[in-house]
Amino acid sequence: MDTHEKRHFFDSPKNVKRFLYGFYFLCALLIIPEFFTFRYVDHPWEALFSFYPIYGFLGIVILVMLSRVLRMLAMREETYYDD
């Protein structure tokens, strides 16, 4: 391995921790407006605290689970295209 290999920002665990702390801080800042805003809702569930982030997270989790099932249905053997 080359000793002069370029190091990237995320190669250092300290930088990864800094990034995660910044990300967590940003998430906390984005929750603060929930306390001060009023939304006009069409469905009673929309009035729940942080409904949209929870709805989006659950939607992505369901999408990933469905993709695993679809992968099993559509998967072919490695030699599928060989003669």
Rounded Cα distance between 71 and 58, Å, is 20
pLDDT in tens, 4-18: 788 888 899 999 999
pLDDT in tens, 23-82: 999 988 988 888 888 888 898 988 888 888 889 999 999 999 999 999 999 988 888 888
Rounded Cα distance between 60 and 70, Å, is 15
Cα three-residue angle 21-22-27, rounded to 5 degrees: 95
Instruction: Tell me how many helices (H) and strands (E) the chain has.
Output: 2, 0
- Is residue 19 pLDDT above 90, yes or no? yes
Contact assessment for residue 47 and residue 41, using Cβ atoms and an 8 Å cutoff = yes
Query: Residue 14: its pLDDT value, please?
Result: 95
Domain range summary for the chain, segments of one domain joined by +:
9-38, 42-77
Query: Residue 15: its pLDDT value, please?
Result: 94
SS3 call for 71: helix
Query: Residue 31: its pLDDT value, please?
Result: 86
